[in-house]
Amino acid sequence: MYPAEFDYHAPTALADALHLLQGHDGTVKVLAGGQSLLPLMKLRLADASTLVDIGRIAELRGIREDGDAVVIGATTTYRDILDSAVVGRRVPLLVDTVRQIGDMQVRSRGTIGGSLAHADPGGDLPATILAVDAQMTAAGSGGTRTIAARDFFTGMLTTSLNEGEVLTSVRLPALDQARTGSAYLKHRHPASGYAVVGVAAIVRLAADGTCQEARVGVTGAGSQAMRAGGVESALQGKALDDATLADAASHAAEGLDLLSDPYASAEFRGHLAQVLTRRALAAAVARARGGPGA
């Protein structure tokens, strides 16, 4: 299908994009990689009188180190992330996640900012963004603000971005610290490739090998990605044997408003959340101990 007619602007400065987003009547939308927005417009499930393409704004794209964090511009593509030695070394969990998204075409066009702003319940990145405690920066007519990952996802396809705001960058605390391991695992939908359930786990061990800190993000299972607080607190200070990981993982679906569709019932999604959490934790622990893929 063809989308309804729309005006198209491709500014090269963020200030111009913000002006366009403020200054139009009708529905004005940001266009990034177009991998989610354009199919929705073709299906007439989304409409826009004006698209503001942010893909030519140089300041929104790129990856840089900033002390103990890596900052990624919103229009940086999945491909750019996979090609980045900095991300591979400092936030390997992000690489683990991105390499499981879509196919080569989607990874070449899709952007980190587009994925997060779209907040698809089956999107992979939200689990990882939550687990690493990332911070999002957004710019709007009132200036720039920072939003913690925990406060960013507010519901199905909904974020705390305001009308006319542009997500400009994502700051991810680096994970290249001693005795720290991470892993992202998903059950991939056989048709779409999205996460039926996806789990991102980070484990930091104390010097005696017990759990100093665990952070777990779950996507796909519920209407929005969430931190699995029950899992995290069940691991705190514990020796990380198989029984402890399994016991902690049994809390993975707590607090989730489980989705159900013809492919996966709510019960199956809850089960997947527990199984994938246990496996992601086991992989993260092995890496924290310096095992394979550490």
Ligand X SMILES: Cc1cc2nc3c(=O)[nH]c(=O)nc-3n(C[C@H](O)[C@H](O)[C@H](O)COP(=O)(O)OP(=O)(O)OC[C@H]3O[C@@H](n4cnc5c(N)ncnc54)[C@H](O)[C@@H]3O)c2cc1C
Q: Which neighbouring-strand residues pair with 65?
A: 70
Tokens 């899709």, residue located: 110
Based on the shown chain and the rule CB under 6 A, indicate whether residue 73 belongs to the binding site for ligand X: no
Q: Least separation, in Å, of the C-beta of 25 and ligand X? A: 17
Q: Least separation, in Å, of the C-beta of 101 and ligand X? A: 4
Based on the shown chain and the rule CB under 6 A, indicate whether residue 106 belongs to the binding site for ligand X: yes
Q: Are 132 and 93 a contacting pair, CB within 8 Å?
A: yes
Nearer to ligand X, 193 or 230 (CB): 193
Q: Using H for helix, E for strand and C for coil, what is the string for 182-230? A: EEEEEEECCCCCCEEEEEEEEEEECCCCEEEEEEEEEECCECCCEECHH
> SS3 of 43, please?
coil
Q: List the one residue from 17, 50, 69, 102 that touches ligand X (CB under 6 A).
A: 102
Based on the shown chain and the rule CB under 6 A, indicate whether residue 167 belongs to the binding site for ligand X: yes
Burial class (CB in 10 A: 0-12, 13-18, 19+), 120: buried
Based on the shown chain and the rule CB under 6 A, indicate whether residue 111 belongs to the binding site for ligand X: yes
Number of helices and strands in the chain (H, E): 12, 14
**Interface mask (CB under 6 A) for ligand X, residues 15-54, using x and -?**
--------------xxxxxxxxx-x--------------x
Based on the shown chain and the rule CB under 6 A, indicate whether residue 170 belongs to the binding site for ligand X: no
DSSP 8-state secondary structure symbol assigned to residue 42: H
Nearer to ligand X, 30 or 205 (CB): 30
Based on the shown chain and the rule CB under 6 A, indicate whether residue 74 belongs to the binding site for ligand X: yes
DSSP 8-state secondary structure symbol assigned to residue 32: S
Residues that bind ligand X (CB under 6 A): 29-37, 39, 54, 74, 101-102, 106, 109-111, 113-115, 117-118, 120, 123-125, 161, 166-167, 192-194
